[in-house]
Amino acid sequence: MEVKIGVQHAPREITLESGQPAEEVERLVAEALAGTSQLLSLVDDHGRKVLVPADRLAYVEIGEPTARKVGFSAL
């Protein structure tokens, strides 16, 4: 699924494709915003970790999985 993270004082958002379930991502974001953890830690499809300080989170969008388009099509 696609996750977009807005970071305060950063001109661009962080976008990643994650294999984590939406409920787990939502739980991790809620824990970070509640102060339970100081970092929001997510793992993308390639196994890379994305760490964002909880006090710098502006917003988090949790989207549906996107299908990659392959090949050519008639216009």
Of 25, 27, 35, the closest CA to residue 5 belongs to: 25
Residues 6+ apart with CB under 8 A from 14: 4, 5, 7, 50, 52
pLDDT at 68: 62
Residue at 74 is within a domain: no
| Tally of domains within the chain | 1
pLDDT at 47: 92
pTM of the model: 0.78
CATH of the domain at 58: 2.30.30
The C-alpha angle with vertex 64 and arms to 49 and 32, in degrees rounded to 5, equals 45
Residue at 68 is within a domain: no
Residue at 70 is within a domain: no
In order along its 75 residues, the chain shows pLDDT tens digits of 899 999 999 999 999 999 889 999 999 999 999 988 899 999 999 999 999 999 999 999 998 765 666 667 666
Residue at 71 is within a domain: no
